Amino acid sequence: MIECYINTSLEICEDRDTKGLYKKARAGSIKGFTGIDSPYQPPLNPECIVESGTDSIATCVAKVVKVLEGKNIIPAVISVPVIELFVKPDEKAAKIAEAAGLPKLEMSKLSMQWFQILSEGWATPLKGFMREDEFLQSLHFNCVFDHGTHNQSIPITLDLTTEQKDKLSGSKAICLTYLGKDYAIMRNPEFYIHRKEERCARTWGVYTKNHPHIQMIYEQGDWLAGGELEVLHRVEWGDGLDKYRKTPLELRAKFEEMGADAVFVFQLRNPVHNGHALLMTDTAKKLKERGYKKPVLLLHPLGGWTKADDVPLEWRMKQHDAVLDEKVLDPEATVVAIWPSPMSYAGPTEVQWHAKARLVTGAQFYIVGRDPAGMGHPDKKEDLYDHSHGRRVLSMAPGMNQFEIIPFKVAAYNKTKGAMDFYDPANHDNFEFISGTRMRKTAREGGALPEGFMAPKAWKVLQAYYASLQ
């Protein structure tokens, strides 16, 4: 038995009274009626408290599910658990001592970013860099299979050279390092050939060595190492932005502290303009209309590797802060945090990874944009991917039934309103489309875009970035 206290006010109980019993009790025709002329005695130590009538139905359900999961009555995959890979505090000293005497494998900066993803639980249920079977599952099915089907469309691998592989072969455990510091123990490492051409063809769906991420893969070692990780230290980059790098469990705690009954995610790698903000505020409005009391936005910019012509992370974070400072987004209902993943620019394949990783934060809604995770074709004057395929693939992707996908609505500058607005084809002449290319060119030249396109402080940050390049 699990005692659950449905804590509901008398006013709400009477409002819900379809049989009219409260009305009869107040009229005196029913005696000893609980809450009217007989006191209600709430339970002293309930295992679950549901604030019915105050919280949304979704929040009430989540509280019940959380208790059932905690008692192992239902599997935790219903709400997506978080598998962190950090060693237990009482084992840390012994593990550090053990790692010091193990053969070493130095990670690149890109591998270190994937290491952070794994260690903090973003790639749950992966327990380390992919072994060959997991690598094949990801490449061929966009999933991994661990007591169920879990979407994992992007392989997470650790490369090494033939010389390094020969040196480490036969080791029962190795120590992973970055800049000479011991970060983790990898148990029973498995070494397998890095089939670069097959990997790139399957991940990107197009094949050109001029793609910036494909270029990096061809510069990597010819072998991959997989194995479970025992992580000794949390990754910190010391760039002044670590305060924004919240783990999934830290984000869950933050949402609970804020009293969020719905969390919706907007993932981006670019500066925020008022068209983005319009979509986010419209989503919050629609969630409230559906009965949610406190929907919270997770503004979650990608913080790993990006191509050279993207705006760097530190400038994007300054720009996001300016957007909140001008209250274009509600600072009381927004959490800005950095997601540490590298960018692959792999279109519909990658957008599944972008969404799947946010499941572990407890978010229920995901806004998917136009041509998410895409870019221009490096060899042709066309986009790599159809602008609608990311959204359509995401709505059908296996292993993500928990998410409700909110499709991107096209926003443009409405010249009659002097503001960003949802595009209305019937009034096409009223709208002006401001491309990213035009935005970057204007910022680089120190010019101005129509008032209302971007918050003034945020635009000044963007101008300052491009001025710094001079």
Q: What SS3 class is residue 5?
A: strand
Percent residues over pLDDT 70 in the chain: 97
Is a pLDDT exceeding 90 seen at residue 170? yes
Q: Average pLDDT of 432-451?
A: 89
pLDDT score, position 107: 98
**What backbone phi and psi angles, to 5 degrees, belong to 153?**
-80, -20
Percent residues over pLDDT 90 in the chain: 75
Range of the domain at 17: 4-78
Same domain? For 30 and 165 the reply is: no
Same domain? For 373 and 274 the reply is: yes
pLDDT score, position 54: 81
Same domain? For 398 and 419 the reply is: yes
* Residue 237 domain-assigned (yes or no): no
Reported as a single tens digit per residue, the pLDDT across 316-375 is 999 999 999 999 999 999 999 999 999 999 999 999 999 999 999 989 899 987 778 889
Q: Are strands 334-336 and 295-301 parallel, antiparallel or unpaired?
A: parallel
pLDDT score, position 410: 86
Identify the CATH number of the domain in which residue 45 sits. Answer: 3.40.50.300
* Residue 347 domain-assigned (yes or no): yes
pLDDT score, position 149: 87
Instruction: Look at residues 231, 262, 296 and tell me which one is the last residue of a structural domain.
Output: 231
Same domain? For 407 and 296 the reply is: yes
Same domain? For 158 and 45 the reply is: no
Cα 346 to chain center, whole Å? Answer: 17
Question: Checking phi first, is residue 401 left (phi over 0); if not, alpha (psi -120 to 50) or beta?
Answer: alpha
Q: Average pLDDT of 164-191?
A: 98
* Residue 61 domain-assigned (yes or no): yes
At 58, the pLDDT band (50, 70, 90 cuts) reads: low
Same domain? For 205 and 256 the reply is: no
Identify the CATH number of the domain in which residue 166 sits. Answer: 3.10.400.10
Q: Average pLDDT of 427-436?
A: 90
Same domain? For 60 and 208 the reply is: no
Reported as a single tens digit per residue, the pLDDT across 212-257 is 999 999 999 999 999 999 999 999 999 999 999 999 999 999 999 9
pLDDT score, position 72: 73
**465 burial via Cβ count (<10 Å: 0-12, 13-18, 19+):** buried
* Residue 189 domain-assigned (yes or no): yes
Instruction: Look at residues 22, 45, 78 and tell me which one is the last residue of a structural domain.
Output: 78
Q: Rounded distance, CA 178 to CA 106, Å?
A: 6
Residue 404 and residue 364 in contact, taking contact as beta carbons nearer than 8 Å: yes
Same domain? For 313 and 356 the reply is: yes
Is a pLDDT exceeding 70 seen at residue 74? no
Is a pLDDT exceeding 80 seen at residue 310? yes
Same domain? For 12 and 58 the reply is: yes
Same domain? For 176 and 218 the reply is: yes
Is a pLDDT exceeding 90 seen at residue 301? yes
Count of domains in the chain? 3
Same domain? For 273 and 345 the reply is: yes
Is a pLDDT exceeding 60 seen at residue 75? no
**235 burial via Cβ count (<10 Å: 0-12, 13-18, 19+):** middle
- Rg of the chain on CA atoms, in Å: 26
Q: Average pLDDT of 155-167?
A: 98
Same domain? For 124 and 67 the reply is: no
Q: Which of 395 and 80 is assigned the larger pLDDT? A: 395
Q: Average pLDDT of 33-57?
A: 88
Q: Average pLDDT of 204-210?
A: 91
Most confident range, picked from 346-360, 379-393, 403-417: 346-360
Q: What SS3 class is residue 85?
A: coil
* Residue 83 domain-assigned (yes or no): no
pLDDT score, position 372: 80
**381 burial via Cβ count (<10 Å: 0-12, 13-18, 19+):** exposed
Identify the CATH number of the domain in which residue 326 sits. Answer: 3.40.50.620
3-state percent breakdown (helix, strand, coil) of the chain, nearest 5 = 40, 20, 40
Least confident of 271-280, 300-309, 400-409: 400-409
Instruction: Look at residues 78, 113, 132 and tell me which one is the last residue of a structural domain.
Output: 78
pLDDT score, position 147: 79
Is a pLDDT exceeding 50 seen at residue 77? no
Is a pLDDT exceeding 80 seen at residue 270? yes
Averaged confidence pLDDT in the chain:
92
With a CB cutoff of 8 Å and minimum separation 6, the contacts of 17 are: 23
Is a pLDDT exceeding 90 seen at residue 93? yes
pLDDT score, position 190: 98
DSSP secondary structure string for all residues of 99-161: HHTS-EEEPPHHHHHHHHHHHHTTTTT--EEPPHHHHHHHHHHSEEESSSEEE--S---EEE-
* Residue 317 domain-assigned (yes or no): yes
